[in-house]
Structure 1
Amino acid sequence: MKEITASELEKRLDEGQHVNMIDVREDDEIATGKVIGAIHIPLGEIPARLDELDKTKPYTLICRSGGRSGRAAEFLEEEGYDVTNMTGGMLSWQGPIE
């Protein structure tokens, strides 16, 4: 599984790179803020919402600490998606949130 640190992701965003991000946390966790531009698909809803994702695009997955996003990355990788897990999750994120 490919991985990226929170600081590496923040650097890419600061440089103006477009990154497709999916935050897999629950609604109450999202209420505390998410990385600007990330879409929200809770982990349990990913299998039912695959039609919202494009297999031709890479995705970076985010959760609180990196565990759930890692599980989501494994699942999506098995389904043929190009995914990267943000290690450390939002606990490591120092950048702006929305």
Structure 2
Amino acid sequence: MEDQVKEITPEQLMAKLEQGEDIQVIDVREPEEWNEGHIPQAKLIPLMSLPARIDELDVEKPVYMVCRSGARSHRATQYLTDLGYDATNMVGGMLAWPGKVEQ
């Protein structure tokens, strides 16, 4: 089967957050990258920790995956999709994020 994951642009994700949609934003970068700036509503779960921390996600809510450029979050999105989550990758990662960031 081909590696197919749902994708969203940073602008589309920002609009969902601004509209107050009940979603989960998971940042799969490492803590030092997170500390350089992250989406305020995001939760940090580094990619390598995701399998061990899967119970922190609500399978009933859409999950939007974020990383630096989109590659790690793509892998995380595929992993969650395979487990039955409604997961979507934010293309371009934080390099493309036009909104506010927290440090």
Tell me the TM-score range normalised by the shorter chain. Answer: over 0.9
**Residues 67-91 of structure 1: CA deviation (Å, up to 9, x unaligned):** 0000000011111111000000000
**How is 1:9-20 mapped onto 2 (pairs within 5 angstroms)?**
9-20=13-24
Deviation at 1:40, TM superposition (A): 0.4
1:53 to 50, 54, 57: 57
- The count of residues paired between Structure 1 and Structure 2 equals 98
Instruction: Tell me how large the CA RMSD over aligned residues is.
Output: 1.0
Question: Identical aligned pairs, as a percentage?
Answer: 50
Match of 1:66 among 63, 70, 76: 70
Q: Is the 8 A contact 2:6 2:87 kept in 1?
A: yes
SS at match of 2:89: strand
- Deviating runs (4+, > 3 A) in structure 1? none
Which among 31, 38, 55 is matched to residue 34 of structure 1?
38
State the distance in 2 between where 1:55 and 1:35 align: 21
Q: Gaps (5+ residues) in structure 1? A: none
| Paired position in structure 1 for 2:82 | 78
